[in-house]
Amino acid sequence: MSHATLTTAETLKLLLELATNDAFRERYSEKPAAALVELGVPYTTVVNLDAACLAPCKLASKQAFVEAHSEYQSSELAQKQSMAIPKLNLNFDKAGGG
């Protein structure tokens, strides 16, 4: 079983789109694989991601993705490795999440 990963650049682009683009968020929540290809992630990477990463999902708020983007972008980890899972599971109990 192959376990593909996103590059740092792909991860940052994904987090930014999930933080700012309502239409992309809707497409990603319904069909993550198609949204990732639309984002420019190579098809061969997408088809080799763990199936759980590609299931329809309810997304965290846009603010949660803004924070995740900022933290990931500034982290030393972002400079040294890529994200293994393109979908974040952020469970926040913040009112007004979008």
Copy the structure tokens of residue 69.
């983007």
Task: From 30, 24, 5, 15, select the one nearest 71 (Cα to Cα).
Answer: 15
The answer to the question of residue 39 being in a domain is yes
Copy the structure tokens of residue 19.
């933080």
Per-residue pLDDT tens digits for 4-20: 999 989 999 999 999 99
The answer to the question of residue 42 being in a domain is yes
Per-residue pLDDT tens digits for 76-87: 665 555 545 555
The answer to the question of residue 86 being in a domain is no
- Domains in the chain: how many in total? 1
The answer to the question of residue 87 being in a domain is no
State the residue range of the domain holding 74: 8-80
Task: Give the pTM.
Answer: 0.74
The answer to the question of residue 95 being in a domain is no
The answer to the question of residue 3 being in a domain is no
